[in-house]
Amino acid sequence: MRTRGPRKGATSKKPVKETASGASKIGGVLRIGGASCVELADCYGTPLYVTDEGRIRENYRRIWHAFANRWRNLRVYYAVKANANLSVLSILRQEGAGADCSGVEEARLAMMAGFRPDDILLTASYINATDLKTALALGVRVNLDDASALDHITGEGIPAFISMRINPGVGRGHHAGVVTAGRDSKFGMDETAAVDAYEKAKALGIRDFGIHMMAGSGSLDADYFGEITKKLLGIADEISTRVGIEFSFVDLGGGFGIPHRNGERPLDINRAATLITDEMKASFGSSDRAPVLAIEPGRYIVGDSTILLARVRSVKRGVKTFVGIDAGMNTFVRPALYGAYHEILLANRGEKDMETVSVCGTICENTDLMAKDVLLPKMEPGDLVAILNAGAYGFSMSSQYNTNPRPAEALVLDGTHQLTRERETLSDVIGRQHVPPRLTRQAN
Ligand SMILES: Cc1ncc(COP(=O)(O)O)c(C=O)c1O
């Protein structure tokens, strides 16, 4: 761990460009959270994820206030899967968030960051008996994706509270791959299955019930959040009547998007919160007995807090121009996986001539592209680039493909920075492998 301040006098020049990530160029050099990207890359090497702590706090507070101003009993569970860095989790724990976890190990991680078990909500798909029992023994709140999981709950392990993940039949996302509701979705249960599930839970003796959905990720349309809430609350009402239960907890999941392209309008979070809470008021009134309203934002909180710094290795000019950088689909898979657009900036100097290029990594796959046919300043080997909005599903989806150690992560705050995750080495990649003695070089 190392802490460094900004270079002397570095903040004296005016920012020339403020990016969606809050990063800005001063004297040609990109800065994030007051720290110079050149200094960060020199200090920790590349590829490097750099997260601005201040931005996470701002994002959290914005979404919290949007909802808390309109609904008294609010719970914001940060979606750990978006960015599971322990420092990021600790920031959000300090802010007062709960943790939305997709499995037992994420729940354990959240506890390591100081979250109390009852501030953790676990929504695991296709959970087995061992994990469910572990989750209940840890004392975390559980949200089931499938009624059959109730068969694993017996005897003394019966929790006071249970929630079910509903598939409301429709959802939206920035890509078909992140629509998590509807006929083709592997998640949640339809209304009929949910009625059976709550009846089964009631028969087990459970008396405190929640209802949950997560219909898709990355929507910028506030109206959509109102529509989808209405849909879920209609289902909740039907279940209440048919099963004879009341809900103490309504969880709408995450999905609040951030703009990725210049000129794209940000989600109007106040409008989304108004539409959602209006639906809640229409269903439950606004007395103290109204249920807790929960949301599980991931991308909205961390997406634009982070940039990925990478170094240009070589520039290949032919029929097309390819800029090869040291971050690929192994480092940041979203462009290859979802065709996601992430703005790329030259980070170490001012811009002169521009050219149309594709930016690629070093991985042996033709889908290893960070950007296709984009207009960028003419690059040279050694230049530094920043891939913006890389804080959600960035490091957390990285891999060791092509025997590449995972990158490092750094945190900046008001111009100071420190490493929060060391760069892996080859031994981390080889890690836990064992070669049978008969296959070793000495054996033959
Ligand atoms: C259950 C659940 N909650 C919350 C989230 C966070 O979504 P987002 O990052 O779009 O806010 C996800 C993402 O997949 C999820 O599956």
The structural domains of the chain, with segments of one domain joined by +, span 17-52+303-430, 54-302
Contact 78, 301 (CB under 8 A): yes
* pLDDT at site 21: 61
**Distance from the Cα of residue 117 to its chain's centroid:** 21
Contact 293, 367 (CB under 8 A): no
Contact 235, 168 (CB under 8 A): yes
Name which residue leads in pLDDT, 268 or 185: 268
Residues 212 and 143: their CA atoms lie apart, in Å, by 7
Q: Is 214 close to ligand 1, i.e. is its CB under 6 Å away?
A: yes
Residue 172 has pLDDT above 90, yes or no: no
- Distance between Cα 214 and ligand 1 center (Å): 7
The arithmetic mean of pLDDT across residues 387-414, rounded, is 98
Residue 243 DSSP label? I
Q: 17-52+303-430 — its CATH code?
A: 2.40.37.10
Q: Is 168 close to ligand 1, i.e. is its CB under 6 Å away?
A: no
Q: Which residue's CA is minimally distant from atom 5 of ligand 1?
A: 254
Two tokens, residue 440: 């070793």
Q: Given pLDDT bands bounded at 50, 70 and 90, which one contains residue 288? A: confident
* pLDDT at site 4: 30
Question: Which of 100, 228, 252, 334 best tests ligand 1's pocket when mutated (most atoms within 8 Å of CB)?
Answer: 100
Residue 357 has pLDDT above 90, yes or no: yes
Query: Among the listed ranges 1-5, 65-69, 102-106, 287-291, which one has the minimum average pLDDT value?
Result: 1-5
Phi/psi zone of residue 239: left (φ > 0), alpha (ψ -120 to 50 degrees), beta? Answer: alpha
Q: Is 79 close to ligand 1, i.e. is its CB under 6 Å away?
A: yes
The arithmetic mean of pLDDT across residues 370-384, rounded, is 97
Q: What residue has token string 């939305």?
A: 100
Residues 167 and 213: their CA atoms lie apart, in Å, by 6
Contact 92, 131 (CB under 8 A): no
Residues 120 and 140: their CA atoms lie apart, in Å, by 5
**CA-closest candidate to residue 392, choices 261, 263, 258, 278:** 258
Residue 318 has a CB neighbour count (10 Å cut-off) of 6
Q: What residue has token string 């809900």?
A: 247
Q: How many angstroms separate the first and last alpha carbons of the chain?
A: 44
Q: Is 364 considered catalytic here? A: yes
- Distance between Cα 302 and ligand 1 center (Å): 12
Residues 291 and 339: their CA atoms lie apart, in Å, by 39
The phi and psi torsions of 188 (rounded to 5 degrees) equal 75, 180
DSSP string, 336-398: HHH-----EEE-SS----EEEEEEE-SSSSTT-EEEEEEEEEPP-TT-EEEESS-SSSSGGG-
DSSP string, 128-169: -HHHHHHHHHHT-EEEESSGGGGGG--GGG--SEEEEEB--S
Looking at domain 54-302, which CATH architecture does it have? Answer: Alpha-Beta Barrel (3.20)
Residues 76 and 62: their CA atoms lie apart, in Å, by 12
Please say whether the dihedral angle defined by the alpha carbons of residues 63, 69, 71 and 73, taken in this order, is positive or negative. positive
* pLDDT at site 9: 35
Distances (CA, A) of 160 to 33, 212, 239, 442: 44, 17, 19, 59
Q: Given pLDDT bands bounded at 50, 70 and 90, which one contains residue 19? A: low
- Distance between Cα 323 and ligand 1 center (Å): 33
Name which residue leads in pLDDT, 186 or 416: 416
Q: Is 100 close to ligand 1, i.e. is its CB under 6 Å away?
A: yes
Two tokens, residue 70: 């309109």
For residue 298, give the ligand 1 atom closest to its CA. Answer: 9
* pLDDT at site 10: 34
Residues 362 and 431: their CA atoms lie apart, in Å, by 22
- H/E stretch holding 42 reads helix 37-44
For residue 300, give the ligand 1 atom closest to its CA. Answer: 11
Q: Which of 37, 43, 360, 364 is catalytic?
A: 364
- Distance between Cα 79 and ligand 1 center (Å): 6
In a 10 Å sphere around its CB, with 0-12 CB exposed, 13-18 middle and 19+ buried, how is residue 285 labelled?
exposed
Two tokens, residue 406: 């995972």
Distances (CA, A) of 316 to 192, 309, 321, 351: 57, 20, 6, 19
Q: Given pLDDT bands bounded at 50, 70 and 90, which one contains residue 20? A: low
Q: Is 82 close to ligand 1, i.e. is its CB under 6 Å away?
A: yes
Q: Is 279 close to ligand 1, i.e. is its CB under 6 Å away?
A: no
**Distance from the Cα of residue 222 to its chain's centroid:** 19
For residue 257, give the ligand 1 atom closest to its CA. Answer: 10
For residue 392, give the ligand 1 atom closest to its CA. Answer: 9
For residue 218, give the ligand 1 atom closest to its CA. Answer: 10
The phi and psi torsions of 261 (rounded to 5 degrees) equal -105, 150
- Distance between Cα 80 and ligand 1 center (Å): 9
Q: Is 391 close to ligand 1, i.e. is its CB under 6 Å away?
A: no
Report pLDDT digits (tens) over 33-88.
999 999 999 999 999 999 999 999 999 999 999 999 999 999 999 999 999 999 99
Distances (CA, A) of 166 to 143, 185, 189, 195, 298: 10, 11, 5, 10, 19
- Distance between Cα 125 and ligand 1 center (Å): 13
* pLDDT at site 203: 95
